[in-house]
Amino acid sequence: MWINSTVKSLSYWFSFYWAVKSLSYWFSLSNCSLIQTLQL
């Protein structure tokens, strides 16, 4: 039973970590494009 809960918590933290990483990646991309647009 504890193995199932451990897998659930691991998948939950992995999805949360992936969401944060993709959000920060998209934010940095939008920041770079915004800076390039301002420079142009």
Domain ranges in the chain are 1-40
pTM reported for the whole predicted model: 0.56
**pLDDT given at position 35:** 73
> What is the Cα–Cα distance from 31 to 9, expressed in whole angstroms?
33
Q: How far is CA 33 from CA 4, 13, 30, 37, in A?
A: 43, 30, 5, 6
Mean pLDDT (the chain, rounded) = 87
Greater pLDDT, 16 or 1 = 16
DSSP state of 27: H
For the chain, give the percent of residues with pLDDT over 70.
95
**pLDDT given at position 33:** 80
| pLDDT tens, residue by residue, 5-18 | 999 999 999 999 99
> What is the Cα–Cα distance from 33 to 40, expressed in whole angstroms?
10
